[in-house]
Amino acid sequence: DVKVTQSSRYLVKRTGEKVFLECVQDMDHENMFWYRQDPGLGLRLIYFSYDVKMKEKGDIPEGYSVSREKKERFSLILESASTNQTSMYLCASSSGLASSYNEQFFGPGTRLTVL
Amino acid sequence: AQSVTQLDSHVSVSEGTPVLLRCNYSSSYSPSLFWYVQHPNKGLQLLLKYTTGATLVKGINGFEAEFKKSETSFHLTKPSAHMSDAAEYFCAVSDSRGYQKVTFGTGTKLQVIP
């Protein structure tokens, strides 16, 4: 089974802190994604990566950055956390093979609260 | 461009009655379509997917969905709701041209009344 793990289930940080959210997948997937989920807005794509050291902006990249130094690990960084970044953050991965039809596999999520 | 519209933000059914969650999509290319379920404070789990071939797709826990190209729809159904089906459901679309992005709908919360 594909497993996507996230470093924390719950996280509480203060405004202005630098925050790191870590995601690891064990299926040798090429693609990795970070979403934030807010009530009524569904999942919104922050950043994604299709290869090591490659990254692409999603729909809402402002205030975030990412790092992918190893194929299995994709980190989301909040350079200076703000209260409007309080949200559920979901990491996902998918195979780069055409036969996967872009099916994504999700981690359990990190609920981040910024005070 | 691809997009998904989930027509109901909340659906309430009685236990043992049918479930219908509606999804319409837009895609410039042949789409792959997905339904995911999310239980409270959990990640998303794939229920079923349509890629090619048979348009009626069966998934886990008795759910199924039918791809209707003429109606650009991919509605999720289940003949008889269980209490354990109470969750949020997301429809998603990805076109087939090799682009890796998947676009998600805003979700439908299913309430099951005993």
DSSP secondary structure string for all residues of B18-66? -EEE-EEEE-SSPEEEEEEEE-TT---EEEEEE-SS-SEEE-GGG-EEE
pLDDT band for position A79 (cuts 50, 70, 90):
very high
Chain B residue with minimum CA distance to A88: B41
- Which residue range is the domain that position A110 belongs to? 4-94+105-114
From B44's Cα to the closest Cα of chain A, the distance in A is 6
Interface residue of B45, B102, B104, B109 to substitute, partner A, most A CBs within 10 Å = B102
Position A100 in a domain: no
Position A70 in a domain: yes
Q: CB B94 to CB A40 under 8 A?
A: no
Domain count, chain B: 1
Q: Please state which of the ranges A28-32, A33-37, A64-68, B7-11 shows the lowest mean pLDDT.
A: A28-32
Tokens of B30: 């042949």
Question: What's the CATH number where B18 sits?
Answer: 2.60.40.10
Contacts of A108 in chain B (CB under 8 A): 42-43
Chain centroid, CA B75 distance in Å: 6
Position A99 in a domain: no
Question: What's the CATH number where A71 sits?
Answer: 2.60.40.10
Count CB atoms within 10 A of the CB of residue B75: 18
Give me the percent of chain B exceeding a pLDDT of 90. Answer: 77
Position A31 in a domain: yes
List all residues of chain B from 86 to 105 with a beta carbon under 8 Å from chain A: 90, 92, 94, 96, 98-102, 104-105
Q: How do the residues of chain B divide into helix, strand and coil, expressed in percent and rounded to 5?
A: 5, 55, 40
pLDDT digits (tens, 9 = 90+) for A8-48: 999 999 999 999 999 999 999 999 999 999 988 999 999 99
Q: Considering only CA atoms, which of A91, A52, A46, A50 is closest in space to residue A65?
A: A46
Question: 3-class DSSP state for residue B85?
Answer: helix
Domain count, chain A: 1
Position A19 in a domain: yes
Tokens of A56: 């692409």
- Which residue range is the domain that position B108 belongs to? 3-113
Given CB atoms, is B34 within the 8 Å cutoff of chain A? yes
pLDDT digits (tens, 9 = 90+) for B31-53: 899 999 999 888 899 999 998 88
